[in-house]
Amino acid sequence: MSEERALQEDSFAEYEEQEDTQEGKYLTFRIGKEEYGIEIRYVTEIIGIQKVTDLPDTPEFVKGVINLRGKVIPVIDVRIRFEMPHRDYDERTCIVVVNINGTSVGLIVDSVSEVLDIPANDIEAPPKVNKGGGSRYIQGLGKVGESVKIILNIHRLLFEEELEQIIESLD
């Protein structure tokens, strides 16, 4: 029991440490001509595109489910979520598997770029203009050298369906 506990403590310490080192790190990926970033602590792995089993009667951006080593996880197509035009999957298409509060979800992106350190004071609040589409998923804009990475709010990206519907019904 103590062994276990010690182990847990260990892994907890490790986890905390990871938390520390993960602070300010973002995984960036490309969709269309822009680069997007999500906090690295949500990312569990990146896999190539694989066979997606269609799920009937789900929103269009939910592409279906995949078999991730015996676990069945849903995948969403970020392109469709952003209401961008469809593009065929190719060998650079990736599934970024994220885990939020125990729920694993795969995100289909055009290609994965790199892991970047973006200090908090290089991140600016998203613009106030609302052009619809995916703009409400923006958490901030990160300045990296000359370029700007769009940092996404993963919670909204995955779970904002209800809210979205409410907003629509208000309009």
Partner 1 sequence: MSYDGFSDAQEQRDILLGFVEEGREMLDEVEPLLIELEQTAEEQGAIDLEMVNTVFRLFHSLKGGAGFLDLQTISGVTHEAETLLDMFRKGKSQLTNFHIDLMNQACDFIRGLLEQIETTYHDRGREEKAAEIIDSLKQANLELKGETAVIVPPSAPSEDHSEDVPTEIDSSDIKAEESSIALDLESFQATMGPEIIKQFSGEAEEQLEKAEESLLALEQDPNNSEHIQQAFRAFHSFKGNSGFLGLRDMERLSHSAESVLEQFRAGGLTPSSKVINLILEIIDFLRNALSSLSSGKSADIPATPGLIHLLEDYSGANVSASSKTAPKLAAPTSDANPASEKLSAATSPSDAPPASIPGASSPETLPPAKKLSQPTQVPKRTKPEAPKREAVSALAPGGKNGQSKKATQRQSVRVDVEKLDVLLDLVGELVIAEAMVSQNPDIKSLGLPLERFEKAVMQLEKITRDLQDVATSIRMIPLSGTFRRMVRLVRDLSQKAGKRVEFTILGEETEVDKTVIEQITDPLIHIIRNSIDHGLETPDDRIATGKEPVGTLTLEAKYVGGEVWISVRDNGRGLNRERIVQRAMERGLFEGDPDDLRDDEVWQFVFQPGFSTAEKITDVSGRGVGMDVVRRNIENIRGRVDIRSWHGKGSEVILRLPLTLAIIDGMIIRVGKERYTMPITAIKESMQVRQNMVTETMEGQEILRIRNQLVPVVRLHQLFDIDTDVQNLEDGIITVVENEGRQVCLLVDELIGQQQVVIKGLTGFVGQHPCVSGCTILGDGDISLILDIAGIIGQSENQNGTVNSLQDTILETDAPVDSRT
Residues 76, 62: contact at Cβ < 8 Å? yes
End-to-end CA distance of the chain: 57
> Quick one: which of 11, 18, 103, 147 contacts partner 1 (CB under 8 A)?
103
The CB-of-103 to partner 1 minimum distance in angstroms stands at 6
Q: Segment near partner 1 (CB under 8 A), from 20-28, 53-61, 113-121, 136-144?
A: 53-61
How many residues line the site for partner 1 (CB under 8 A)?
25
Regarding 158 and contact with partner 1 (CB under 8 A), the answer is yes
> Quick one: which of 7, 13, 47, 72 contacts partner 1 (CB under 8 A)?
72
Regarding 54 and contact with partner 1 (CB under 8 A), the answer is yes
- Looking at this protein, which amino acid is placed at residue 148? V
- 115 three-state secondary structure: strand
User: What are the φ/ψ torsions at residue 84 (nearest 5 degrees)?
Assistant: -95, 160
Alpha-carbon distance 92 to 111, whole Å? 5
Alpha-carbon distance 24 to 41, whole Å? 10
Regarding 99 and contact with partner 1 (CB under 8 A), the answer is no
What are the residues binding partner 1 (CB under 8 A)? 1-3, 6, 51, 53-58, 62, 65-67, 69-74, 103-105, 158
